[in-house]
Amino acid sequence: HVIILSGHGYSLLWSEGSKKEKFDWDAGSMVVPPDRWFHQHFNTGKEPARYLALRWGSRKFSTAIEEEKLAKSLKLGGDQIEYEDEDEEVFALFKGECDKNGVEVTWSPKIGK
């Protein structure tokens, strides 16, 4: 469960091989990515976004095997999509949403700045 504390934006959620679904959010919204689904959160507003992610796992009830996959690239057997491997449409959507809100995007996956 991801509780949005401040900011304005959207999240993309999808299972492997399926279409990405976009969900808009503002402060007070909650996003609940289904288990084993890819998900990304995008702040498209002028103010910083803050969120609180509540999830499984603790020192007592470790999910160490799953935690290891989160920090690894898909190419290395993990669950993380690296920027250079991301669909170009993801950045294009983000840039378009920022443009609608008058927010300048100063970084691009093509140039890494």
List pLDDT tens digits, range 55-98. 766 666 655 555 555 668 888 887 788 878 888 899 999 999 99
- Taking the C-alpha atoms of residue 11 and residue 22, their distance in angstroms, rounded to an integer, is 6
pLDDT digit string, tens, across residues 7-54? 999 999 999 889 999 999 999 999 999 988 999 999 999 999 999 988
In this prediction, residue 84 carries a pLDDT of 81
**What's the pLDDT band for 100 if we cut at 50, 70, 90?**
very high
In this prediction, residue 20 carries a pLDDT of 95
> Could you give the C-alpha distances from 103 to 6, 12, 26, 53, 72, in angstroms and in order?
16, 19, 16, 25, 31
In this prediction, residue 9 carries a pLDDT of 97
> Could you give the C-alpha distances from 91 to 12, 71, 113, in angstroms and in order?
12, 21, 13
- Taking the C-alpha atoms of residue 33 and residue 69, their distance in angstroms, rounded to an integer, is 17
